[in-house]
Amino acid sequence: MKNQLLLFAGILFSLSCSRPERESVDFEAWGEYWFQGTAEISSFDLTQYRYGEPREGEAVLIFVTEDFSRSKQVKLDDPASAGRDKISVIKMNQTRDFITGIYPYHMMLSAFTPTKEDSRGVKFAVSSQEWCGQAFAQINLNSGESYSGELFSYFEEEGDKSFSITGMAEDDLWNLIRIHPNQIPTGSVQMWPSLIYQRLTHRDFAAEEAFIRIKDISDSRRQVEVTYSTGQRELRIDFEKEFPYTILGWEELHTKENGETEITKATRKGMKVVDYWTRNSLEDEYLRDELNLNH
């Protein structure tokens, strides 16, 4: 037990002391938007390809900053007493809801990325529920540059398993855009595709070579484009050129073995900045109308 405590203390100390801060980010101005005790919520019209057909649905992006535990990689209950265990993160929750025939899909992705510390994302999780069953995967950053993950699935072939993975998470890109697009590495990188994509394709958890570029697509908007060397997946995220770099929409292109391309697309239809966790009474449901959310 003593050795385990010493090991934990060493890991905690190294994590809290060895990370430099992100460069070329004005965190004073950044905090005026992100550290005000509110979240940014955006709603999107979604066309999600599933089983070879486009499905109309809805997506929501929720971005919010939180005090996070370095050691447990969960939101802190008492940040004031956490000391060096506390780290500031920006969290993205992404939900997708769509219908396949008679039954619905409910999917949710969470990504946690340090705000000021120059570190890759520390935690990623995905859940998927539909009438056949449900699945959940979680991937956590180790003390080095590798990740450890667990998958729980109702599919026999996947079963419940643990795995390791290295490289950059595609799901980290969303938060890096919101911190500052200059935090995104461009050119060739080793990257593992989105956990939502992994759930829908049942691919193994593995990094692939991908090429990232950021380009202007109009006077007011830019785009992050990710192209995987396998030729099977492309991701394009559109965002506003100026701070706070809000997400305007995205496209995902999946090329099947027969050469057909399926395009999943989301287009923003509403946005609010609000402390949604305090808006849980019946009289607050008007906020859903303001976001153009379907009931």
H or E stretch at 3: helix 2-17
Q: Given CA atoms 40, 191, 124, 11 in this order, what sign does their dihedral have? A: negative
CA–CA dist 253, 266 (Å, integer): 12
Tokens 């391309």 locate to 261
Residue 8 is predicted with a pLDDT of 44
**For the chain, which ranges sit under pLDDT 50?**
1-16
pLDDT of amino acid 295: 65
Tokens of 171: 């799901």
* pLDDT at site 12: 47
Give strand pairing partners of 253.
234, 263
The predicted structure's pLDDT at residue 18: 60
Specify the pLDDT at position 293.
Answer: 96
- Domain ranges across the chain: 2-290
CA-angle at 124, arms to 119 and 125, nearest 5°: 170
Beta carbons within 8 Å of 23's beta carbon, 6+ residues apart: 118
Give the span between the Cα atoms of 295 and 98, in whole angstroms: 13
Locus of tokens 């770099």: 245
How far apart are alpha carbons 195 and 201 in whole angstroms?
10
CB 138 within 8 A of CB 73: no
Q: β-strand 147-153 against 133-141: which pairing, if any? A: antiparallel
